[in-house]
Chain A
């Protein structure tokens, strides 16, 4: 078929540039590979293409009319112009039709700043509208759940309808009426509140027709900083962006990763971000008698903790540690290293579990997992044991009355009282929030949450994914790996405290089988899974 010997590839020319893509690719996708973005509304890479927005029309040499690039497959030797006079004037005409009914309420619209209509009209639209007819008015409609619908702003791309049909496979939305009066609507009084993935229709709406009630009027799109991160809602580990402003997370948005979550994320994860902004934080290290711990400098706190650990070691006390599946791989591995130094005790963790999984039918890889912690995968692979019930309580009866060294990292101990750790010879509490469980601690050391530090999580299938800090750490809190590394280095001269997250990762990824071969720098924003082929090669 192809004359250029490139095998199964089709070569065409887009705006004077040669492009070689697999057959069956659409012109729009082919253009994207060379950096030409053809304007579009109804096309979305995760959905089918109805070619109804008529905005992606491009000129194809030899074709009598302009072709919708989102559904036209590439052909050998095709010559495409996306910026020709015909294509441009067509786009300008289409945009003018959109503005015949779209209100100019950008100042009060939440989409302003990330609105495709705003962008396209700014780039190519007419300066002044010529329509003298009154605009149609629908007002605002509550679609249920977190979704609010402003009918006037809708450009009828039907992305939301297709998402509910094809991906969520729960057709709760449809188009009613015809022509100029056509509008998206729910079925009678039933909204989208029943669908656990309905929040995605807000993300894919190219204009401000579907907006989030939670985010309504909260911040402007251009004020928000985006930090690549991993959703801490469950073991799936959806790739997300933290949208922050004034050192607070304002919303979570899914970040494209075809191997984990595609373009989507569930509403459960999306709306669980408030805890990242909790104001009641441990901000400084404290040491002292039970209930009377006073703020001290980090150096003093570490020295005191080390002294306590050394004395307990000399007495030959056993060690018991409680970890948290919300801590990063680096934190957990460093805890493991410390516990190994102190005499190889048990490390347990507690994690919440849901009743059942919530799968996304149209994207099989994605499911809200039963395991509601982001890093149980890491804890399990580092040899930690899950205890307690499905609401992350109980299971600490042994630890409560443990008489040796007790180290708690991250667990908030919400169900425990002030008697916890009373009998421990040395009790170190590393946490982010004040708790009654830390009442008897010899040292309370503040640590950062995942949103304030760099690190990695291991998801349910063993994929290691990195996240970056989006918030400033509260007070003088530090990442747990840094604190635990310092403690280990102060106890043993063979240990050297890691000075960066990459070092902390490298320490354990060399030793722990499930991480061998992974390189922190090359994990990147897409995550990496250990190559199963390596497993056999290094087995002997």
Chain B
């Protein structure tokens, strides 16, 4: 079953066309990786899946994006969409508040006020993000004091706390050291049973390690999209082959 169904999506920043006629069917409970050289549109696409591009001035979109059959650019409430489609950013961005308040921010946004319920959500989210053991004694401390890797896992936990259906990750490990990167990758593999995960990465090894499907982007187009094994072992398109064998990008 597909979670995202993208049909003929075009996106413009002013006069510049950043995405050109994207058609994709992203499957549920899988990890899908977007790869390609910088500026190829992979981050732009992931941001149009939870409408973060709404924040950018001069950005216009045509086409259709459906989340489990519902058009996200139609009548759907943006805030509700972003609750269903969580996002983790390139740079860890915990809010300048305590660990607890960071995790509770999302649930509180969506109307959960009872303390016991929040406590439970905080513990469950941190456990799901495999960071409960490290943080359970410092829930009241500022999240800005954590290491970069911890901060990013905290951000994953924060995204999980609103019980999303899909998790978008925009180069989540590009600012992290190899050990922290490893921890995030492990985490994603354990999460894929319950969530559909889309990850943008500049790291091809990362895509082969964790993803089930991979899409290769170039200049705003999807060049090739298929099971990760196939794409990396026998790419159909010459440009894909050039990219994965390191001839450009």
A binds B: no
Contact surface of A with B, Cβ cutoff 8 Å = none
Contact surface of B with A, Cβ cutoff 8 Å = none
